[in-house]
Structure 1
Amino acid sequence: MPKSLALASPTPVVALGLRDRLAAYWALTKPRITFEVVLIAAFGFLLGTPGPVDWARFCHAMLGIGLLSGGIAALNQWMEHPADGQMRRTATRPIPSGKVTPFQALLFGLVLTIGAEAYLCPTVNPLTAVLGLATAIGYVWIYTPLKTRTWLSTAIGSFPGAMPPLVGWAAAAGSLSLEAWVLFAIMFFWQFPHFYAIAWMYREDYRRAGIGMLPVIEADGRRTIRQTLITALVTVGLSLLPFWLGLSGWIYLAGALLLGALFLQSCLVLARTRTNLAARRVLRASVVYLPMLFLLMTLNRL
């Protein structure tokens, strides 16, 4: 069995009170990331709604997607806990800190993931459940193991990472159209500058843990900078398509151009200076860019 799949805890289990134990399980779901996933899925749902919004289905979909995202996060931490224990930024996560055992995290993640699938199929529709299952398999069982094997894992992981708007659209419409795939493509390419910025800032941590992302394996950063700029440009270009496809209007187009210009500016500063500070600015710009883009798109649609 690979080291990342070992069930032995790297540190002794810490005795916790009920409140602290619940907090540890909550942390396993990566609440901030889960919130972002649900938010983008919610925009996808609203954009994919052909008529009046079915708010009951919306609530069912967001609950199921939230449970699924939390389950995937827990399973991801179960698989990565040996590496997490070697990195400063992740050493305090529930498993490496001894607050939760690997087996407990595995069981918790499986219960959430399977429960979410069982909930989404009857309350929303089978397509949403199928896309959710594909996301779980792609992220946990394909992308996560590849992180220590190839720098191409970023591209591979971007497929399940771009699923939230697609899942949200499917939940509303019960099918996938060209517009839905455009949303998927925007989020797919957006992930490259976002994750390259993180890897640039924490490349020593990643190197210590044996995670070979592109900023870690190259010394001069040329390919990282080139790919960051290219994928940022593609993202901004794709962000104009919702206007041309009639998914959103002129207000969105103006906002997309402004947001895109600010996003590209942060990437150009990183290309020029190649500092951790510039990488942090790219990260912040990316975190603002995507939800604001989808928010504008949705508001100009409704």
Structure 2
Amino acid sequence: MKSAVGSLKSTSLSLIFSDFKEITKAKLAVSVVFSSIAGYFLGAYQIELWSVVLLAFGGYCMVGASNAYNQVIEKDLDALMKRTRNRPIPSGRMSVSTAMTVAILLTILGVISLYFLSPKTAMFGAISIFLYTSVYTPLKTKTPLAVFVGAFPGAIPFMLGWVAATDDFGIEPGTLFMIQFFWQFPHFWALGWMLDDDYKRGGFKMLPTGKKDRGTALQIILYTIWMIVISVMPAFGFTGRLHLTIPAATIVLLCGLIMLFFAFRLYEKRDNVSARRLMLASVTYISLIQIIYVVDKLIS
């Protein structure tokens, strides 16, 4: 009997943890934390473990809070889409009040943690939550420009790490911001292309032309080119302390050209397979260049 009760409790805790991961979008949150830590390593003169812990914890809380607010706001629309109908709120596993409690607690914990790093870090974290939940989320059913608006909070994490390390905002974190800002357009439009039918069930307007056409694919190519240009700029001495050696910049350029190749393939074929390949290439690209930037700093 005791064994059965213990097993039931273990199962309940497992479900709660699973729903927590889903309401905070754990995989996305971890990738954002990775970006923030990469930015911190680039900006820091000396790595402080406690600062990294605060940044990781605070960053996860801020992203998790944004995602929880988003799922509260979009609960009815999530119920209409195949990929989201089993989320904790539309499936009935979590109440709106519970989700809001989680979101508010994460907001408070995140702001406090980032404030211990620096007030500017906390400010940028709070701005990202506000833009994501109060501007980007409502716009998604109104206009494709929502992706442009959403690119602002989405570009903050890479920059946030630098600000956390230096308590300063200048050309260096601005460059990191611009890299991730331009990267988001090919990434999210490729995702939007793949999920266009499902998004339309929820009333979301994610593609720039509203269609899976050459116009959308062309814009993906153009934003990818801008992303590549910004990514190699630190090799030319325009970006202060943020610097890339020529070998590192060459590798970054090659990674960008590979992603651009997949963007051209989408323009040529205009199918979901090509969109998926571009999306996967974009995820690989942003992770690789952050690693390259950090390794280049450490060995140069």
TM-score clears 0.5: yes
Within 2, Cα distance between the matches of 1:39 and 1:30?
Answer: 14
Structure 2 counterpart of 1:45: 40
**Residue 186 of structure 2, aligned match among 193, 215, 219:** 193
**Residue 288 of structure 1, aligned match among 279, 284, 287:** 284
Within 1, Cα distance between the matches of 2:19 and 2:209?
Answer: 30
Spell out the pairing of 1:17-96 with structure 2 (5 A cutoff): 17-49=12-44, 51-96=45-90
C-alpha spacing 1:216/1:203, structure 2 compared with 1 (3 Å): farther
Aligned length: 284
**Residue 301 of structure 1, aligned match among 284, 297, 300:** 297
Within 2, Cα distance between the matches of 1:84 and 1:232?
Answer: 30
Identity across matched positions, percent: 33
C-alpha spacing 1:157/1:46, structure 2 compared with 1 (3 Å): same
Q: Is the 8 A contact 2:209 2:215 kept in 1?
A: no
Quote how far apart the aligned CAs of 1:157 are.
Answer: 0.5
Within 1, Cα distance between the matches of 2:261 and 2:210?
Answer: 25
Q: Is the 8 A contact 1:203 1:216 kept in 2?
A: no
Spell out the pairing of 1:160-239 with structure 2 (5 A cutoff): 160-214=153-207, 217-218=210-211, 221-239=213-231
Q: Is the 8 A contact 2:23 2:67 kept in 1?
A: yes
- CA offsets per residue over residues 34-82 of structure 1, 9 Å max, x none? 0100000001001111x22222212212211111111111111111111
Quote how far apart the aligned CAs of 1:262 are.
Answer: 0.6
Q: Is the 8 A contact 1:48 1:172 kept in 2?
A: yes
Asked if 1:127 corresponds to 2:120, the answer is yes
Asked if 1:139 corresponds to 2:135, the answer is no
C-alpha spacing 1:174/1:18, structure 2 compared with 1 (3 Å): same
Quote how far apart the aligned CAs of 1:177 are.
Answer: 1.8
Q: SS at the partner of 2:141?
A: coil
Code of the residue aligned with 1:242 in structure 2: it is P
Q: Is the 8 A contact 1:84 1:90 kept in 2?
A: yes
Asked if 1:156 corresponds to 2:140, the answer is no
Quote how far apart the aligned CAs of 1:215 are.
Answer: 5.9
Quote how far apart the aligned CAs of 1:19 are.
Answer: 2.4
Question: After alignment, is 85-94 or 32-41 more displaced?
Answer: 85-94
Asked if 1:113 corresponds to 2:107, the answer is yes
CA-based RMSD: 1.4
Quote how far apart the aligned CAs of 1:100 are.
Answer: 0.6
Within 2, Cα distance between the matches of 1:217 and 1:64?
Answer: 36
Structure 2 counterpart of 1:3: none
Q: Is the 8 A contact 1:214 1:224 kept in 2?
A: yes
Code of the residue aligned with 1:276 in structure 2: it is N
Structure 1 counterpart of 2:263: 267
Within 2, Cα distance between the matches of 1:166 and 1:95?
Answer: 32
Moved over 3 A (4+): none
In structure 1, list runs of 5 or more residues that go unmatched.
1-15
Within 1, Cα distance between the matches of 2:90 and 2:267?
Answer: 35
Structure 1 counterpart of 2:4: none
Code of the residue aligned with 1:110 in structure 2: it is I
Q: SS at the partner of 1:162?
A: helix
Code of the residue aligned with 1:32 in structure 2: it is K
Q: Is the 8 A contact 1:91 1:97 kept in 2?
A: yes
